[in-house]
């Protein structure tokens, strides 16, 4: 188990469609170790989600923290969902915008609009098929993380490039946006 290096925008691994994990490999020791490393790396970097390509492993695995009811994003107390081989479908096409950040694009934030409600079909860490419907901010979190499995970054989805900002300038100029 280890905290791994997070690769950054510009590394071509982040631009590849990640490999589907064969269902009979989901419960393997190698996958358990990968998920554990992702969990430790996410916590060390204080992220709320991370995808395997972000630690240089081009496989369709992501973990996402479900915020606790108070809306806090404390990864120590919030459940984490492990997602293998997801398929995503839009339930409500109405767009909602949030300022997103990414461990692979450190220091920046950008305003991205995405569908407000989506359905994700996936395999969990025990290789059971699951479905989850998510909306509002959590829908954005899922779409952001799952984009990583298909070679996309949030910066690709910024429509108004004036809404890409360094964190400090975001705090100073954009918190009302
Ligand atoms: Zn990201």
What span, in angstroms and rounded, lies between the C-alpha atoms of 116 and 94? 6
User: If you measure from the C-alpha of residue 100 to the centroid of ligand 1, how many angstroms do you get, rounded to a whole number?
Assistant: 8
Residue 160 has pLDDT above 90, yes or no: yes
Q: Based on the number of CB atoms within 10 Å of its own CB, is 47 exposed (0-12), middle (13-18) or buried (19 or more)?
A: buried
User: If you measure from the C-alpha of residue 57 to the centroid of ligand 1, how many angstroms do you get, rounded to a whole number?
Assistant: 14
What span, in angstroms and rounded, lies between the C-alpha atoms of 166 and 110? 9
**Closest C-alpha among 29, 163, 166 to residue 108:** 166
Q: Is residue 49 a contact partner of residue 63, using CB atoms and an 8 Å limit?
A: yes
Compute the C-alpha angle 161/48/46, nearest 5°: 95
Backbone angles phi, psi at 82, to 5 degrees: -100, 125
Q: Which residues are catalytic?
A: 145
pLDDT digit string, tens, across residues 121-137: 999 999 999 999 999 99
User: If you measure from the C-alpha of residue 8 to the centroid of ligand 1, how many angstroms do you get, rounded to a whole number?
Assistant: 10
Average pLDDT, stretch 136-152? 97
Q: What pLDDT, on a 0 to 100 scale, did the predictor assign at position 76?
A: 56
Indicate the range of 38-42, 58-62, 137-141, 171-175 predicted with least confidence.
Answer: 171-175
pLDDT digit string, tens, across residues 73-114: 554 567 999 999 999 999 999 999 999 999 999 999 999 999
Task: Write down the architecture of domain 12-174 according to CATH.
Answer: Alpha-Beta Complex (3.90)
User: If you measure from the C-alpha of residue 168 to the centroid of ligand 1, how many angstroms do you get, rounded to a whole number?
Assistant: 19
Q: Is residue 34 a contact partner of residue 59, using CB atoms and an 8 Å limit?
A: yes
Average pLDDT, stretch 63-79? 70
User: If you measure from the C-alpha of residue 139 to the centroid of ligand 1, how many angstroms do you get, rounded to a whole number?
Assistant: 14
What span, in angstroms and rounded, lies between the C-alpha atoms of 104 and 5? 10
User: If you measure from the C-alpha of residue 94 to the centroid of ligand 1, how many angstroms do you get, rounded to a whole number?
Assistant: 22
Q: pTM of the predicted model, to two decimals?
A: 0.93
């Amino acid at each position: 188990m280890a905290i791994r290096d997070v690769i950054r925008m510009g590394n071509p691994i982040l631009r590849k469609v990640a490999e589907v994990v064969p269902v009979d490999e989901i419960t393997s020791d190698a996958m358990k170790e990968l998920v554990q490393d992702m969990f430790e790396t996410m916590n060390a970097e204080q992220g709320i989600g991370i995808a395997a390509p972000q630690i240089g492993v081009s496989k369709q695995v992501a973990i996402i923290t479900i915020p606790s009811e108070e809306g806090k994003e404390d990864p120590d107390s919030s459940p984490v969902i492990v997602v293998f081989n997801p398929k995503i479908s839009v339930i409500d096409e109405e767009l909602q915008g949030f300022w997103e950040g990414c461990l692979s694009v450190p220091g920046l934030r950008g305003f991205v609009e995405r569908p407000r409600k989506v359905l994700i079909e996936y395999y969990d860490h025990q290789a059971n098929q699951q479905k989850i419907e998510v909306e509002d901010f959590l829908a954005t979190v899922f779409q952001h993380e799952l984009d990583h499995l298909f070679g996309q970054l949030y910066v690709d989805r910024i429509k108004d490039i004036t809404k890409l900002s360094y964190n400090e300038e975001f705090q100073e100029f954009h918190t009302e946006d």
